């Protein structure tokens, strides 16, 4: 049975959505309240809270509540494991493409 990391799963699930990737890009420029994010993405507060919560659970966003305002910043997760997984997948794909290229080169001369 293949084992998958739940940490990898949560990060990839979090960044699978375009809105959440947009939130990360926005927070990369400067912090924002959930209200500001909801307004920028033309979304309800409830919808934005759900997106932010998923990003926070993955360690990609941090929130802090001061009074009635919840402010969001980028989280401290470094994405090292995710980058390593992508690099490994890239290497496997390249190896398969290299094998295909070698096969095509070998069989090219067999054609009439």
Do 23 and 37 meet the contact criterion of CB atoms below 8 Å apart? yes
Long-range contacts of 42-50 (CB under 8 A, 24+ apart): 43/19
Q: What percent of the chain has pLDDT over 70?
A: 93
Is the pLDDT confidence value at 93 over 50? yes
Per-residue pLDDT tens for 20-66?
999 999 999 999 999 999 999 999 999 999 999 999 999 999 999 99
Band (1; pLDDT cuts 50, 70, 90) = very low
Return the higher-pLDDT residue of 84 and 48. 48
- Side by side, the strands of the sheet bearing 61-66 are 32-33, 69-74, 61-66
């Amino acid at each position: 049975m293949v084992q998958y990391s739940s940490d990898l799963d949560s990060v990839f699930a979090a960044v699978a959505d375009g809105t959440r990737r947009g939130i990360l890009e926005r927070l990369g420029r400067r912090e924002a309240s959930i209200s500001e994010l909801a307004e920028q993405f033309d979304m309800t507060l409830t919808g934005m809270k759900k997106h932010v919560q998923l990003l926070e659970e993955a360690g990609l966003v941090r929130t802090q509540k001061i009074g009635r305002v919840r402010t969001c910043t980028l989280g401290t997760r470094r994405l090292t494991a995710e980058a390593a997984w992508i690099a490994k997948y890239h290497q496997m794909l390249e190896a398969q493409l290299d094998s295909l290229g070698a096969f095509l080169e070998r069989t090219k001369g067999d054609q009439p």
